[in-house]
Chains A and B, each alone.
Chain A
Amino acid sequence: MNQYFHSIWIDTEKCNGRMKCLRVCPTQAIRIRNGKASLIQEKCIDCGECITACPHGAIVPLTDPFGELTKFRHTVAIPSPALYAQFGREILPEKILTGIKNLGFDDAFDLAFTCGEVSFAIQEYLREYRGPKPLISNACPTVVRLIQVKYPALIDQIIPIELPRELAAREIKKKKSKQLGLKEKEIGTFYLTPCPVKMISIKQPAEKGQSFLDGAISISDIYGLLLSAMEGIEKGSYRKALENICILGIGWAMVGGICRTLRLKNSLAVSGITEILKVFDDIERGKLRNIDFIEAYSCTQGCVGGSLTVENVYISYNKILKLIETLEYEQIKACPDIREVRKLYGQKYFFIKGKFEPRPLKPLDKDLAKAIKKRKEKEDIYESLPKIDCGACGAPTCLTFAEDVVKGEAKLTDCIFNLPQRFKESSQDFSDLFNKYSFRSQTKSSPKKEAKKERQ
């Protein structure tokens, strides 16, 4: 059994080993072995870049099939606010929630309201926090995992406030079980997700707590069904539907939405893994100490850019932005009562139960002296490589290949540039050489010296 559960699965039947995934992976977690992609579990942060990059659909997000609903006596859908961005401008959350009920769910819950509560809770936390800054939003599970793996020193700067979808599921289970006289486990809560990483954050929360959600269904899986389920719905008053939208919660669908709707003066919003890496490097160097809060999403433009959404990311981003502008202009709030939120905050209602722990990558060796030796070996190997990152060996870069060789996970002769060089250096029979040097990774001496020794 693997230590880490991941939300992606590689279908080796479909995989042609084309290396697209190899190149886009931000944590170098993919290798091509025997012509097929494979995942290094401990390195993967579930960003889903590989899913989007694969031209053959061989990397599949693991979400729950729609059929899971039948396992429960009562089912509630909890759509990510990003779902609200998937349809035309006139289609407001009210209609979408009705459509979801038409799909076969017993109820559909407007998560935007809970998001609003959590926005206020974040504001409270920012107010009383006195530790190192900036604080980092935990809304994106990939960002949390990135910190655990690559920036363990920033772990205490992740906001320890529970995610809206978890709070919502917790409350729904509590309320509905009382109302309907059912057990909590008989009530199925399903998150409608814009990205696969939410799936693992349900199966394996980063803080090692337990999720209150029973599953996640991909927005792209239900999109078509939902479109037709909304067809017959009578057109209500646009104004009235607008008045029910919590502006704070809508903000959660896009990058910068939390900062904007809370009107945080001293905050940054960043999206896209490569951009996040730059910002996190700066935080680690102490360059951004004057910033209070960072909203970071691994997908471009935030959750509207998730790999399981349907609408063009810029169109959906714009829909949310215009909606926020309209609500601001019309001065519609429909948000939770801040006094109520403060009261609950005081009772620790919003805090996560577990604790975020670092998950640093395994070093080259547990023993520092040995690790230093291996690092030097790695550098020597790297120097002998062509440094063009062709990927033919199955590793994304020459540097990662050198690391794989040192770790004994690859052979030096896997590098196609190494083969002809070996031919030149010796007049000996190729097969003889090949057999000898495939074990070279374990010895320290250079191939030249070894070849000389052979001749003597």
Chain B
Amino acid sequence: MMMSEENELSHHFEITGGDFSNAGRTSTSIKEILQEIGIDSSIIVRAAIASYEAEMNVVMYAHRGLLTLNVTPKKLHLKLEDEGAGIENVDLAMKEGFSTATDEMREMGFGAGMGLPNIKKNADKFKISSIPGKGTSIDITICLDKTEEK
């Protein structure tokens, strides 16, 4: 994807692992940006949920992460790259209900094993890759221009 195109909006958000007190800020900022440029509210909800789950994955399991938002009139693209433990078995992690969350996390209402499946559910295109011990990268696209959908 070409960067800094005339009609492309690009934003980077740094997320710190373990920083529960600021968790959710990134998805709120993304929501506000999308509202301001007039994206349809049903799409904003999908983007907000996907970015929130992505953000929470970094907060809970990684050391740090970078979430990049790109918006063009045709599509919305979210890319998350984190440094951390990575995921041993990506297929298993994508299953609903699977979670490696600790009891403390579960007590806070997380770890239902819905995070990654939820991101996928809200995306039109979804890619995930992970290197155990290094980190995970997630790529999602939501189409804005209905005629663009495959």
Residue pair A285, B9 in contact (C-beta under 8 Å): no
Q: A372-B9, A372-B72, A375-B9 are in contact. Are A284 and B37 (CB under 8 A)?
A: no
Residue pair A372, B73 in contact (C-beta under 8 Å): yes
* Distance between Cα atoms of A376 and B10 in the complex (Å): 9
Residue pair A372, B35 in contact (C-beta under 8 Å): no
Determine which residue in B6, B38, B73 has the highest number of CB atoms from chain A within 10 A of its CB, and name it. B38
- Chain A residues with Cβ below 8 Å from B9 are 372, 375-376
Residue pair A153, B44 in contact (C-beta under 8 Å): yes
Residue pair A363, B36 in contact (C-beta under 8 Å): yes
The answer to whether A373 has its CB under 8 Å from any CB of chain B is: yes
Residue pair A285, B52 in contact (C-beta under 8 Å): yes
The answer to whether B41 has its CB under 8 Å from any CB of chain A is: yes
* Distance between Cα atoms of A375 and B70 in the complex (Å): 13
- Report the nearest A residue to B46, measured CB to CB: A153
Task: Determine how close the nearest CB of chain B comes to the CB of A383; give it in whole angstroms.
Answer: 13
Q: A369-B7, A372-B8, A373-B7 are in contact. Are A364 and B35 (CB under 8 A)?
A: no
- Write the A10-29 contact mask toward B (1 if CB under 8 angstroms, else 0): 00000000000000000000
Residue pair A284, B45 in contact (C-beta under 8 Å): yes
The answer to whether A225 has its CB under 8 Å from any CB of chain B is: no
- Write the A283-308 contact mask toward B (1 if CB under 8 angstroms, else 0): 01111001000000000000000000
- Chain B residues with Cβ below 8 Å from A368 are 37-39, 73, 144
- Chain B residues with Cβ below 8 Å from A209 are none
**A284-B48, A287-B52 given. 18 additional CB < 8 A pairs?**
A153-B41, A153-B45, A284-B31, A285-B24, A285-B27, A286-B118, A358-B41, A361-B35, A364-B36, A364-B37, A365-B37, A366-B38, A368-B38, A371-B38, A372-B71, A373-B6, A373-B7, A375-B33
- Chain B residues with Cβ below 8 Å from A374 are 37
The answer to whether B42 has its CB under 8 Å from any CB of chain A is: yes
A365 contacts which of B38, B41, B118 (Cβ < 8 Å)? B38
* Distance between Cα atoms of A363 and B35 in the complex (Å): 7
- Residues of B near any A CB (own CB < 8 A): 6-9, 24, 27-28, 31, 33, 35-39, 41-42, 44-45, 48-49, 52, 71-73, 109, 118, 144
Chain A residues bordering chain B, tally (CB within 8 A)? 26
- Chain B residues with Cβ below 8 Å from A373 are 6-7
* Distance between Cα atoms of A373 and B8 in the complex (Å): 8
Task: Determine how close the nearest CB of chain B comes to the CB of A111; give it in whole angstroms.
Answer: 35
* Distance between Cα atoms of A361 and B32 in the complex (Å): 11
* Distance between Cα atoms of A287 and B110 in the complex (Å): 9
Task: Determine how close the nearest CB of chain B comes to the CB of A447; give it in whole angstroms.
Answer: 21
The answer to whether A281 has its CB under 8 Å from any CB of chain B is: yes
Task: Determine how close the nearest CB of chain A comes to the CB of B49; give it in whole angstroms.
Answer: 5
Residue pair B37, A372 in contact (C-beta under 8 Å): yes
* Distance between Cα atoms of A358 and B118 in the complex (Å): 25
Task: Determine how close the nearest CB of chain A comes to the CB of B7; give it in whole angstroms.
Answer: 4
- Report the nearest B residue to A373, measured CB to CB: B7
Task: Determine how close the nearest CB of chain B comes to the CB of A404; give it in whole angstroms.
Answer: 13
A281 contacts which of B24, B37, B73, B144 (Cβ < 8 Å)? B24
- Report the nearest A residue to B55, measured CB to CB: A285
Query: 18 pairs across A/B with beta carbons < 8 Å?
Result: A152-B41, A285-B48, A285-B49, A285-B52, A363-B36, A364-B36, A366-B38, A368-B37, A368-B73, A369-B7, A371-B37, A372-B7, A372-B9, A372-B37, A372-B71, A373-B6, A375-B33, A403-B36
- Report the nearest B residue to A406, measured CB to CB: B36
The answer to whether A272 has its CB under 8 Å from any CB of chain B is: no
Task: Determine how close the nearest CB of chain B comes to the CB of A409; give it in whole angstroms.
Answer: 15
- Chain A residues with Cβ below 8 Å from B48 are 284-285
* Distance between Cα atoms of A201 and B45 in the complex (Å): 28
* Distance between Cα atoms of A285 and B47 in the complex (Å): 10
- Report the nearest A residue to B8, measured CB to CB: A372
* Distance between Cα atoms of A281 and B52 in the complex (Å): 11
